[in-house]
Structure 1
Amino acid sequence: MPDLTGTTALITGASGLIGGGIARCFARAGAAVVLHHHCGENAARTLAEEITEAGGRATVLRADLLRPEECRRLVEEAAARHGRLDALVNNAGIQPVQPLPDMTADDWQQLQTADVTSAFACTQAAARIMAGQADGGSITHIASIEASQPAPGHAHYNAAKAALVMFARSAALEYGPRGIRVNSVSPGLIDRPGLADDWPEGVRRWGAAAPLGRLGRPEDVGNACVFLASRAASWITGHDLTVDGGVSAHPTW
């Protein structure tokens, strides 16, 4: 694991499965982690206790990322708590399943706001802080392989994840001269308790299509984020790192 001792990382949506996995990886690497939640306070505080008991440092902050002013407050407070902000992981988002013919403009806009506009606002706020630090910082968006491989019922989600990939590249272009690297991580299917019971056929098909023969784990995503935030990735920016067990390499014919 890269050594992130002395750094601070803010993970949005840290009360969820993937966000919690990302936070654990940063904590194991030595970073002080700021755990954002909106409605999952109990989960966030339980995670903070777990990290603290293991010898790490964790802070819990609440914010409604549908409101740009809350995004700015969250980032500024995270930096103020620890004196700096070295890494931001824009993980928060929603993933409803809605057939396109039944989708309303409000449905579409709500997802774009939750998944894309929140990342935009947090990125702007973090970049203002990172630009004033001698060693800049790292920003990572959690996208998805659905950015390039759409799934039925996910038209709004597919579009949002594709937007995040391009937003990372655009931000990398503009923030690079300020010492700020911006990348995205595109996970495949991440396992969760009960998934095999809820979607047995999908899990079976995924396992058959993945060259590595298994579903992803939250720490697979977290390890990729830690790498991108570390000195080992100091010359990597504007890149989308696919973390899918090789499913994207599987032929579609």
Structure 2
Amino acid sequence: MRLLDGQVALVTGAGGGIGRGIALRFAEQGAAVAVHCRTAVAAARDVASRIEDAGGRAVVLEADLRDEEECHRLVREAAEWGGGRGGGLTALVNNAGVQPTQPLPGMTAAEWRAVVETNLGSVFACTQAAAGVMRPGGSVTHIASVEAGHPAPEHAHYSASKAAIVTHARAAAQEYGPHGIRVNTVSPGLIDREGLARDWPEGVERWVRKAPLGRLGRPEDVADACVFLASPLASWITGHDLVVDGGVSARPTW
């Protein structure tokens, strides 16, 4: 038995990076996966093809998650597509988000809202929609960040949105728990991507030097945490923030 056999999962922002890793890992563990994208359609189709080539089941669903109605449509379509696997949607991973940089003193209210409303608004709307169609035993996982508690310079809007996402999960865990739906967050540290060491060599070197486990994270590290939280192994875990950062946040800050 694979950990997610029989499940139907929707992964938002699954065209690349962490989202791709989550979608592929969910499929490896037996879930049928709805692969969401907004603009990265070709990348999302590649993810779905990889899942299908390995014998899994996947569909690509496009939606602009800045629009509440689009969030609800996306969840509805994922649940309808997954109906043949025992009925509707069993897992949602809210991964989609934006991470621009902008110094706080010069940040405009519009720039602040663009990040906070995009990152937090989609989590709120997709979770609300998913909870409306999930049966007891369903799970929702938000991808937050270690920056929720350790904000970085020029990331004030991003860090605030991720801190709000952690708190949203705790609140949602209380209100959706009586319906048998669990809500948690995974907070990644610095996750490697193609070109990161070239684009930010001093940051990568600093992270590796300070990480007790001595390396950057991989998308699979985040994906494994999400699989665990969606699986029966986590059936009594809700309202929890699972930090996946190689131990960096365990270091003293003084």
Q: CA deviation at 1:12?
A: 0.3
Q: After TM superposition, which residue ranges in structure 1, 4 or more long, deviate above 3 angstroms?
A: none
Give 1:163's aligned residue: 164
Q: CA deviation at 1:16?
A: 2.2
Give 5+ residue unaligned stretches, structure 1. none
SS of the residue corresponding to residue 13 of structure 2 reads coil
Partner letter of residue 157 of structure 1?
Y
Q: What RMSD in Å do the two structures reach over aligned CA positions?
A: 0.9
Q: Distance in 1 between matches of 2:64 and 2:14?
A: 13
Q: CA deviation at 1:249?
A: 0.7
Q: CA deviation at 1:38?
A: 0.2
Partner letter of residue 209 of structure 1?
K
Partner letter of residue 34 of structure 1?
A
Q: Distance in 1 between matches of 2:102 and 2:122?
A: 21
SS of the residue corresponding to residue 13 of structure 1 reads coil
Residue 83 of structure 2 is aligned to residue 80 of structure 1: no
Partner letter of residue 231 of structure 1?
P
Give yes or no for contact 2:13–2:95 (8 Å, CA) kept in 1.
yes
Give 2:234's aligned residue: 233
SS of the residue corresponding to residue 10 of structure 1 reads strand
Partner letter of residue 228 of structure 1?
L
Identity of aligned residues (%): 66
Give yes or no for contact 1:2–1:232 (8 Å, CA) kept in 2.
no
Give 1:103's aligned residue: 107
Give 1:112's aligned residue: 116
Q: Distance in 1 between matches of 2:36 and 2:65?
A: 10
Give 2:250's aligned residue: 249
Partner letter of residue 218 of structure 1?
P
Give 5+ residue unaligned stretches, structure 2. none
Q: Distance in 2 between matches of 1:211 and 1:129?
A: 41
| Deviations 1:201-241, CA, capped at 9 Å, x for gaps | 11111001111100000010000000000000000000000
1:23-42 equivalences in 2 (<5 Å): 23-42=23-42
Give 1:19's aligned residue: 19
Give 1:186's aligned residue: 187
Q: Distance in 1 between matches of 2:16 and 2:117?
A: 18
Give yes or no for contact 2:3–2:227 (8 Å, CA) kept in 1.
no
Give 1:5's aligned residue: 5
Q: CA deviation at 1:136?
A: 3.1
Give 1:176's aligned residue: 177
SS of the residue corresponding to residue 235 of structure 1 reads coil
Which of these residues, 126, 149, 155, is aligned with residue 122 of structure 1?
Answer: 126
SS of the residue corresponding to residue 14 of structure 1 reads coil
